[in-house]
Amino acid sequence: MKKTYFNWSSGKDSALALYKILQDPTFNLDLLVTTINKDFNRVSMHGLRNELLKKQADSIGIPLKTIEFPADVTMDLYAEIMKEAMDSLEEKKYSHTIFGDIFLEDLKAYRDTKLAEVNITGVYPLWKKDTKEVLQEFFALGFKAITVCVNAKLLGEEFVGRVIDEQFIKDLPENVDVCGENGEFHTFVFDGPIFKNPIDFSIGEKVLRSYTLHDNEDDNEDDNCYQAKKEEANHDTSFWCCDLS
């Protein structure tokens, strides 16, 4: 069996990919790994509170390892922290890691390049699948998710803090992928076949947040929508966020 860890985002694609891998006896998956913003104690990009992340891991029944980044992280610092974490995983004899990516070629190439440096193989159970079919399978399996962060350039406040269902899909603009694969929205999965029990939570306030990119971190996936910035909001990096607790 292949000693494997899972890159857990707390969202729907991650949940479906985990479900699929848990059905495959060739993988010995015994660890969830999540990147978090240590200044705000939230999951990177998704903005989910750490308490709910830990509740997910407890209900799944797989140990959780968090990789912490400061809110104001450059790409160089991001690479340094990730390299240290991956070296540690290699030392523990992990040979494979799982991602929920579907069709972002550049991101997959970046991941695979970095993994090759530590002799770890990336596995992508949802790769190149039709996103409408992915979401239909997600529903059919009994998963439930709610949006926690949406790109304000593409979606309004009414799309955040909303349960993902058939009506949600119908209401999406035509230029938005139904799985939010281009970063249009991020989700929190609170029920489904990978959980022993549903995750209890309450919906809090909705806030428009923005961040400013450093010159060298245009592709940084781990800037968090909960970063409080004094600069005027950049529309391309503004997000409606819903606080769950």
pLDDT at 223 over 50: no
CA angle 123, 11, 244 (to 5 degrees): 155
Q: What is the mean pLDDT of residues 130-138?
A: 97
What confidence category does residue 225 fall into, taking pLDDT thresholds of 50, 70 and 90? Answer: very low
What confidence category does residue 230 fall into, taking pLDDT thresholds of 50, 70 and 90? Answer: very low
pLDDT at 56 over 90: yes
Q: What is the mean pLDDT of residues 126-142?
A: 97
Q: What percent of the chain has pLDDT over 70?
A: 89
> Of 31, 30, 50, 32, which Cα lies nearest the Cα of 40?
50
Report the pLDDT value the prediction gives residue 209, as an integer from 0 to 100. 87
Report the pLDDT value the prediction gives residue 220, as an integer from 0 to 100. 39
Report the pLDDT value the prediction gives residue 212, as an integer from 0 to 100. 60
- For the stretch 78-92, pLDDT in tens is 889 999 999 999 999
Cβ–Cβ < 8 Å for 59, 243: no
Would you tell me how many other CB atoms lie within 10 Å of the CB of residue 67?
19
What confidence category does residue 127 fall into, taking pLDDT thresholds of 50, 70 and 90? Answer: very high
- For the stretch 183-212, pLDDT in tens is 999 999 999 999 999 999 999 999 998 866
Average of per-residue pLDDT values in the chain: 90
Report the pLDDT value the prediction gives residue 44, as an integer from 0 to 100. 86
Least confident stretch, 73-82, 89-98, 127-136: 73-82
What does the DSSP assignment read for 111-177? HHHHHHTTT-EEE-TTTT--HHHHHHHHHHTT-EEEEEEEETTT--GGGTT-B-SHHHHHHS-TTS-
Report the pLDDT value the prediction gives residue 211, as an integer from 0 to 100. 67
- For the stretch 3-40, pLDDT in tens is 999 999 999 999 999 999 999 999 999 999 999 999 98
Q: pTM for the complete prediction? A: 0.89
Q: What is the mean pLDDT of residues 159-168?
A: 97
Which has the higher per-residue pLDDT, 222 or 45? 45
